[in-house]
């Protein structure tokens, strides 16, 4: 574990989630490593260690092979680290997290959007904003609409 790791991921790495949430946990660990700029090799080692701890039915070779497949999927697939998914996996194991540090994870290739369609607010950004900013805006507007 490193100092740049969000609280939810640190706790997830120490957790023993129930069998129904282990797949989600594995993917989030791999996606965080990718988002944090770790190499595939380092991510595979980190995840294999977690898998050996949480899936005793697998041999060390099987755990490493499984970790490699998940890390590869995170690197080539359209997956990303999600604090919400990490927190959900923690909740499944009866744990919680302080997620203030999650904004410290740096995305190397942020996707950009040129506008956000908002029905009643009339909001259109003056310039391009990141996909995460668009998601945050959408969440905020949804909360306003429900208030």
Return the domain boundaries, the chain.
7-102, 112-146
| 7 Cβ contact list (under 8 Å, min separation 6) | 97, 98, 99, 100, 101, 102
Residue 124 has pLDDT above 90, yes or no: no
- Of the listed ranges 8-22, 78-92, 132-146, the least confidently predicted one is 132-146
Does the global pTM surpass 0.85? no
| 37 Cβ contact list (under 8 Å, min separation 6) | 106, 108
Mean pLDDT of 102-124: 47
- Of the listed ranges 61-65, 67-71, 116-120, 136-140, the least confidently predicted one is 116-120
pLDDT at 131: 72
CA distance 118 to 120: 6
pLDDT at 73: 92
Residue 43 has pLDDT above 90, yes or no: yes
- 14 or 104, which is more confident: 14
């Amino acid at each position: 574990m490193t100092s740049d790791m969000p609280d939810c991921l640190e706790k997830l790495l120490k957790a023993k989630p129930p069998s129904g949430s282990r797949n989600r946990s594995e993917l989030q660990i791999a996606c965080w490593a990718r988002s944090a700029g770790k190499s595939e090799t380092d991510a595979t080692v980190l995840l294999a260690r977690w898998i050996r701890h949480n899936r005793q039915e697998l041999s060390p070779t099987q755990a490493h092979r499984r970790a490699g497949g998940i890390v590869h999927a995170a690197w080539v697939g359209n997956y990303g680290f999600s604090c919400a998914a990490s927190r959900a996996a923690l909740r499944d194991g009866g744990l919680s997290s302080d997620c203030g540090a999650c904004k410290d994870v740096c995305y190397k290739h942020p996707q950009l959007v040129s506008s956000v369609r908002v029905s009643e607010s009339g909001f259109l950004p003056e310039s391009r904003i990141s996909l995460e900013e668009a998601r945050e805006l959408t969440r905020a507007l949804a909360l306003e609409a429900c208030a």
